Amino acid sequence: MEQFEPKIIALVCNWCTYTAADLAGTSRLQYPANIRMIRMMCTGMIDSKYILKAFLSGADGVFVGGCHPGDCHYIDGNLKAGKRIPGVGKILEQFGFEPDRLKLKWIGASEGPEFQKYMTEFVDTIKTLGPSQVRDRMIL
Amino acid sequence: MTEEMTSKADRISTPVNIVVAGAGITGIRTAIDFAASGYKVLLVDKAMHGGGILTRLDHQFPNDHCGMCRMLPMIDRGTDKETCLRRGLFHENILTCYSTEVVAVDGKAGDLAVNLSVVPTGVDKTRCSGCGECERVCPVMVPDHFNGDWVNRKAIFLPTPHLSPDSRVIDWQACTSCGACVEVCPTHAITLNGEREQVELKGVYAVVLARGVNLYDPALTDVYGYGVLPNVVTATDFERIMSSSGPYQGEMMRPSDGKPIKKIAWIQCVGSRNVMIGADFCSSVCCMFAVKEAILAKQKMGKESDAVIFYMDMRTFGRDFQRYKDEAENVKGIRFVRMRVHSIQLHENTDDLLISYVNKDGEQVDEIFDLVVLSTGRKKDFLTCDWAEADGVFQVDRLPGFKDIADSVVGASAISEQVLRMIHQQNLKPDKNESDHSPDISFVERRPSYITVLCDCNTSLSNPIDFQKLENTIHALSSGHQILRVEQACSKEGWQTIRKAIMDGQANRCLIMACDAAVDFSRKREFTNELGFPVSFVDLLDVVSLVRRFQEGEDATDTVSKEVFMRLNRLGTRSYASPLKQAQVKTVLVIGGGPAGLQAASVLAAHGFTVKLVEKTDRLGGKLAQIEESDLKQHVEKMLAGVNKNPQIDVYLETEVIQTSGRPGVCMTKLKHASGETRIIHHGATILATGGKEVDTSASVVSESHERIITGFDMDAMLKANDSDLVKGPVSTVVMIQCVGSRQEPNNYCSRICCLKSLKNAIRIKDLHPETDIYIFYRDIMTYGNSEILYTEARKKGVLFIPFDTDNPPRINMASGAIIIEGDDPFLGEPVQIKADWLALATGVMPNDVSDLKQVFSFETTQDGFIQEADSKWRPVDTERVGVFVCGLARTPARLDEVLLEANAAAQRVLTLLEKDHTSYSPVTARVRNAICSVCGICIEVCPYQARYMDEDRRVVHVDNLACQGCGTCAAECPNNATVLGEYEDHGVMSMIESSL
């Protein structure tokens, strides 16, 4: 059987996490090709429905990366995301999906190695969980 | 105008209004100030990169955060790339040029000839794709100084880890000119010619000199074995050990043997406060730096770790610093030992380090550390240059010293204000801005027609892309998509081809996929200026950085296709609305008529603004009588006279502000006179300069009053009066007690001025009566910067200093009628009893009550009642409300010279907001679709910039376009999707998500 290659969407903040991702690239830190990165200005603008949309469109996992608390360019957008995103995880759980398919992490601008580590770990988690059933089971 | 000039001389021919020499924090701050007002700035630095010391640190005290990006413009955000400042400064009015020095400045302010000496980087940025092959093949290895010399780097390298675009530079001293890099470079971007070039600029209005300080090198004169013992490091080098972008990827391991670090000592005042080496100054930041490093290190080292700071005085003189230090000590478990360490030794046959010292109880303690960090500050000598005193040169370093970020930012903006004042007074104008081109409406209104440009030079890609497959993907989207394959999008010919194809094909949406060299930020501007494209209708995809994360040789077609697909979908959802321009009211409301308010008012009037100066009491001048420095006192008196005569300044005495409404640029405020009469004024910005007052906390230490127990302020006044008992004498013994009611709850902050006052009083008494015994009970003497000389002088004159802890303060015994001070002298190890003729209690300062104003302007205050700035480091004179600024004692305890600088800085912030007749706002701004808005008000609550307000009469929510910074939180929180953020509309983001899978 062909190995399961999950589709993963990473919604990252423009200021810290995107810089870290770029740094990981410049430092030649490899991470899996499964990640589709979408740059947002701030994790604070990541609407819950974007995450649901990603799952409903067939994503096997969604990763949200923002600045460490206190580092947010917009003062506290990341903290607002920190309240909102776990709520989406709960929604997934209530519908019988694995909440681990959604991950929120704070990654600072200099944390290229951390970015690589979290990405690799997340891909591994999703590989263990197998393909997501969200799209198939939610008839929309 | 963003990338460095590699074809130096040609690029520099662009008009330059202001040259900023030094690209550290101060240089960057001034450059952004000028750029925001529309002036063309050339920002140069001798170093190979910008950012100064900050590029080596990830976190700053006193909150352990980073927030450098908060310096970026908030008005006209679209002029800047909006990206992390560690990657570089990208502003359309700023040209950065490193390895460059200003060598001569001639002429008069307003019309200067500036000579630059430029060292080529060796790599042409307009051709470099950032592939890094050159670095891979370079055979030369030299120690990487950026990373503390612990690892090696090549002779062609990236000067800072985050640099973007990531084109390398050549270290000519290390380069052997072997030519390996030249041969391997796929875009022929490298030239091995390191000869300096000379460039002359003419018609420059001003030069700002912001060189910063040289750091002290402990290898030269110190006794701590730096350079010999491998695990003795400097504080800035230690930052690299902790950093994820450092030599050990953030693993806490020590340089000599990679052993995990579990126990660290910091030794303070290395190279500072040492008269033996002529360093009679304090470097001001090292104490806080060490506390921060200790906190972060302890967090990283985990349990069973130990962090010890050996210090002489903990100089926690910033408003929030004492609580930060207390938390480090009491909550985070950092140990503080008051001790000048004698020496560091190797422990037996290991690389561990042994420090022996005598503790409080007089016992010798031997402690073994994995690593010792030397808190090195600045060098004794300041950098100088021949042209520093030339006409038209403005020196940020007029107040020399090593400053923390907040003080640097304040000093920088104060200088910007002075430069602009000169420019305004000479009536000089910025060069016409290219960005004033507005997009061609016919482009916008036509049906979307796409063109995708694929640069297939492919030479710098480490991973293969199947271009045919890529084309198929694009055609699958819609057959009408035009595709252009160009050989080198970065070259002039390439750009001409793209241009022609767009014009011929009538395309009005464009995606360019190429490498860094071609998809630079400035390209977007070219689209607007040359082709009439709205910036949001162009997307630039840096394909090199997209595929860099793959293993070499791995096929990247799928990822690239997905990305292209996603971006084209996104482009399809973009719309364009011509930005509204907003007129500004060029009047400023200044609240408070003390030195800060007077300074801000006079300065703004000099720029041509009308000022409404509102003062609660019946006279201006504040605590004028208490100003001890005669030059500053004269300055304030002069301002006072000037303000009263100035027709541009309207003074309202006995008046309070009771109500305000409006938005930055256009506000309406209601004033109320003591007589009950009210009036409404129109203004564009507000400066809060409500000041502070002496806090009399002497009651906390003395139960009953005594005519010879006075405050430091009183003593100062007595010493100025020639007929006072203190001046006439005889005086046998004077005792002073520091930090009375300060630096402990509830007023747990340093007032900054009391130590200086006590020392000056002590020196004056010693001058008058050399035989008088003076004892100063203190906790930490806060003579930061050059005021350290007062401390040295006082000690030379025989003033005795006795330290005490908060848990054992000196006691005052007046039972016998005499004033007896009882305390413990830790040096003698015995209790002391001193009978004093005079006892001066050093009481501090506190802010005036602003609770009424807080209601009116809805700003935050600290727990001590100071006005909370938007960001204590990066935006020190802004409040969270855009268009409302703060300066002086209202914000923080400060010396008068510092207060005046803050007032200038606040005036500069007003200039940035109000200088242009109109401001336009970024397309990435929120708006409300009123038809589906339920007026629930959630968006108003979550907005971090107070950019939203409710129109109660019409029941609609408004967005203030200038205050809105485009964070999008409102849109995400809106339960009805009634709020949308420009360029991040739901359908755009959704289509991107959908197409990326």
| CATH code: domain of residue B499 | 3.40.50
Q: Which domain holds residue B950?
A: 925-981
- How close B484 gets to chain A, by Cα (Å)? 25
Q: Do A14 and B82 touch (CB under 8 A)?
A: yes
d(CA B758, CA B712): 6
Check if B860 contacts A (Cβ < 8 Å). Answer: no
Query: Pairing relation of β-strands B94-98 and B41-45?
Result: parallel
> Are B560 and B627 in a shared domain?
no
SS3 content of chain A, % helix, strand, coil (to 5): 45, 15, 35
A23: which chain B residues are within 8 Å (Cβ-Cβ)? 161-162, 245
Top-confidence residue, B531 or B192? B192
Q: Supply the CATH number for residue B329's domain.
A: 3.50.50.60
B430 CA to centre of own chain: 25
Q: Do A109 and B924 touch (CB under 8 A)?
A: no
User: What's the pLDDT at B770?
Assistant: 96
d(CA B147, CA B141): 14
Read off the pLDDT of residues B247-304 as tens digits, 9 standing for 90 and up. Answer: 999 999 999 999 999 999 999 999 999 998 899 999 999 999 999 999 999 999 998 9
Instruction: Among B539, B989, B990, B991, pick the best mutation site for testing chain A contact (most A Cβ within 10 A).
Output: B989
Backbone angles phi, psi at B323, to 5 degrees: -65, -35
Name the helix (H) or strand (E) containing B734: strand B733-740
Q: Do B942 and A19 touch (CB under 8 A)?
A: no
B132: which chain A residues are within 8 Å (Cβ-Cβ)? 26, 28
- Give domain status of residue B994, yes or no: no
Q: Do B84 and A109 touch (CB under 8 A)?
A: yes
Least-confidence region, from A86-90, B453-457, B769-773: B453-457
Report the interhelical angle of B25-36 vs B405-425 (nearest 10°): 40
> What whole-number percentage of chain B has pLDDT above 70?
97
Read off the pLDDT of residues B787-813 as tens digits, 9 standing for 90 and up. Answer: 999 999 999 999 999 999 989 999 999
A48: which chain B residues are within 8 Å (Cβ-Cβ)? 972
User: DSSP letters of B479-540?
Assistant: TT-EEEEES-TTSHHHHHHHHHHHHHHT--EEEEEE-TTTS-HHHHHHIIIII---GGGEEE
Say if residue B5's pLDDT is above 50. no
d(CA B538, CA B513): 11
**Among B556, B870, B972, whose Cβ lies nearest the Cβ of A46?**
B972
Read off the pLDDT of residues B138-169 as tens digits, 9 standing for 90 and up. Answer: 999 999 999 999 999 999 999 999 998 888 99
User: What's the pLDDT at B11?
Assistant: 63
Strand partners, B897: none
- Give domain status of residue B990, yes or no: no
Say if residue B987's pLDDT is above 60. yes
Cβ burial, residue B862 (10 Å; 0-12/13-18/19+): middle
Instruction: Among A63, A74, A84, pick the best mutation site for testing chain B contact (most B Cβ within 10 A).
Output: A74
Backbone angles phi, psi at B335, to 5 degrees: -95, 135
A59: which chain B residues are within 8 Å (Cβ-Cβ)? 993, 997
> Are B110 and B124 in a shared domain?
no
pLDDT bin (cut points 50, 70, 90) of residue B10 is low
Say if residue B576's pLDDT is above 90. no
* Pair of tokens at residue B118: 């430029």
Say if residue B479's pLDDT is above 80. no
C-alpha distance from residue B610 to each of B214, B418, B990 (Å): 42, 18, 49
Nearest chain A residue to B550 by CA distance is A30
Q: Do B162 and A23 touch (CB under 8 A)?
A: yes
> Are B930 and B911 in a shared domain?
no
**Among A19, A44, A108, whose Cβ lies nearest the Cβ of B968?**
A44
- Give domain status of residue B453, yes or no: yes
Instruction: Among B84, B242, B925, B948, pick the best mutation site for testing chain A contact (most A Cβ within 10 A).
Output: B84
pLDDT bin (cut points 50, 70, 90) of residue B397 is low
Name the helix (H) or strand (E) containing A129: helix A112-129
Instruction: Show the beta-strand stretches assigned E in B881-997.
Output: 884-886, 918-920, 926-928, 948-951, 956-959, 979-981
- The candidate with the shortest Cα–Cα distance to B977, out of B968, B990, B965, B986, is B986
How many CB atoms are located within 10 Å of the residue B359 CB?
11
User: What's the pLDDT at B748?
Assistant: 94
Share the mean pLDDT of chain B.
90
A70: which chain B residues are within 8 Å (Cβ-Cβ)? 63-65, 67
Say if residue B554's pLDDT is above 80. yes
Nearest chain A residue to B986 by CA distance is A50
Cβ burial, residue B182 (10 Å; 0-12/13-18/19+): middle
B564: which chain A residues are within 8 Å (Cβ-Cβ)? none
- Give domain status of residue B987, yes or no: no
Read off the pLDDT of residues B641-669 as tens digits, 9 standing for 90 and up. Answer: 999 999 999 999 999 999 999 889 999 99
- Give domain status of residue B986, yes or no: no
Write out residues 45-84 of B within 8 Å (CB-CB) of A.
Answer: 58, 63-67, 69-70, 82-84
- The candidate with the shortest Cα–Cα distance to B25, out of B4, B43, B5, is B43
d(CA B236, CA B233): 8
Write out residues 612-651 of B within 8 Å (CB-CB) of A.
Answer: none
Write out residues 418-457 of B within 8 Å (CB-CB) of A.
Answer: none
d(CA B830, CA B637): 50
User: DSSP letters of B372-418?
Assistant: EEEEE-B-SSPP--TTTTSTTEEEGGGS-S---HHHHHHHHHHHHHH
- Give domain status of residue B991, yes or no: no
3-class SS of residue B735: strand
d(CA B23, CA B89): 10
User: What's the pLDDT at B13?
Assistant: 59
Say if residue B437's pLDDT is above 80. no
Say if residue B40's pLDDT is above 50. yes
Mean pLDDT of B673-696: 94
Say if residue B425's pLDDT is above 80. yes
Check if B563 contacts A (Cβ < 8 Å). Answer: yes
**B84, B69 contact by CB (below 8 A):** yes
Strand partners, B830: B825
> Are B623 and B765 in a shared domain?
no
> Are B481 and B560 in a shared domain?
yes
> Are B424 and B441 in a shared domain?
no
Read off the pLDDT of residues B881-931 as tens digits, 9 standing for 90 and up. Answer: 999 999 999 999 999 999 999 999 999 999 999 988 777 778 889 999 999
Placement of tokens 């950026």 in the chain: B146
pTM, to two decimals: 0.94
- How close A96 gets to chain B, by Cα (Å)? 22
**Among B162, B166, B968, whose Cβ lies nearest the Cβ of A19?**
B162
Q: What is the largest CA-CA distance in chain B?
A: 103
3-class SS of residue B103: strand
Q: Do A110 and B243 touch (CB under 8 A)?
A: yes
Say if residue B523's pLDDT is above 80. no
Counting the structural domains of chain B, the total is: 7
User: What's the pLDDT at B2?
Assistant: 33
3-class SS of residue B177: coil
- How close B69 gets to chain A, by Cα (Å)? 6
Least-confidence region, from B11-15, B118-122, B844-848: B11-15
Q: What is the ipTM of this complex?
A: 0.95
> Are B707 and B791 in a shared domain?
yes
Q: Do A16 and B84 touch (CB under 8 A)?
A: yes
Nearest chain A residue to B963 by CA distance is A74
Read off the pLDDT of residues B588-614 as tens digits, 9 standing for 90 and up. Answer: 999 999 999 999 999 999 999 999 999
Q: Do B969 and A44 touch (CB under 8 A)?
A: yes
For residue B253, the 8-state DSSP code is: B
**Among A19, A57, A114, whose Cβ lies nearest the Cβ of B87?**
A19
Instruction: Among A72, A75, A107, A123, pick the best mutation site for testing chain B contact (most B Cβ within 10 A).
Output: A75
Q: Do A111 and B64 touch (CB under 8 A)?
A: no
- The candidate with the shortest Cα–Cα distance to B686, out of B600, B591, B615, is B591
User: What's the pLDDT at B12?
Assistant: 63
**Angle, vertex CA B409, rays to CA B406 and CA B410, nearest 5:** 85
Q: Do B245 and A41 touch (CB under 8 A)?
A: no
A112: which chain B residues are within 8 Å (Cβ-Cβ)? 161, 244-245
HSE (side-chain half, CA atoms, 13 Å) at B549: 23
User: DSSP letters of B591-605?
Assistant: E--SHHHHHHHHHHH
Instruction: Count A/B contacts: CB-CB distance under 8 Å.
Output: 165
- How close A127 gets to chain B, by Cα (Å)? 16
Write out residues 862-881 of B within 8 Å (CB-CB) of A.
Answer: 870, 880
d(CA B475, CA B481): 6
Across B652-670, b (16+ Cβ under 10 Å) vs e yields beebbbeebebbbbbbebe
- The candidate with the shortest Cα–Cα distance to A41, out of B934, B181, B972, is B972
Mean pLDDT of B534-554: 84
pLDDT bin (cut points 50, 70, 90) of residue B629 is confident
Amino acid at A54: A
> Are B53 and B80 in a shared domain?
yes
Helices (H) and strands (E) in chain A, counts: 5, 4
User: What's the pLDDT at B181?
Assistant: 96
> Are B187 and B227 in a shared domain?
no
* Pair of tokens at residue B261: 């670090």
CATH of span A8-137: 3.40.50
- How close B467 gets to chain A, by Cα (Å)? 19
Domain chopping of chain A, boundaries: 8-137
> Are B664 and B761 in a shared domain?
no
Strand order in the sheet with B206-209: B94-98, B41-45, B18-21, B206-209, B393-395
A36: which chain B residues are within 8 Å (Cβ-Cβ)? 559, 562-563, 566, 996-997
> Are B686 and B594 in a shared domain?
yes
Query: Pairing relation of β-strands B956-959 and B649-652?
Result: unpaired
HSE (side-chain half, CA atoms, 13 Å) at B316: 26
d(CA B258, CA B371): 11
Amino acid at B213: V
> Are B593 and B676 in a shared domain?
yes
Q: Supply the CATH number for residue B933's domain.
A: 3.30.70.20
Backbone angles phi, psi at B432, to 5 degrees: -55, 130
d(CA A12, CA B291): 32
Q: Do B161 and A27 touch (CB under 8 A)?
A: yes
**B71, B874 contact by CB (below 8 A):** yes
Check if B493 contacts A (Cβ < 8 Å). Answer: no
User: What's the pLDDT at B494?
Assistant: 85
- Give domain status of residue B992, yes or no: no
Top-confidence residue, B438 or B712? B712
A28: which chain B residues are within 8 Å (Cβ-Cβ)? 132, 548
Check if B573 contacts A (Cβ < 8 Å). Answer: no
> What whole-number percentage of chain B has pLDDT above 90?
67
Per-residue pLDDT of chain A (140 residues; tens, 9 = 90+): 568 999 999 999 999 999 999 999 888 898 888 899 999 999 999 999 999 999 999 999 999 999 999 999 999 999 999 999 999 999 999 999 999 999 999 999 999 999 999 999 999 999 999 999 988 887 65
d(CA B911, CA B901): 15
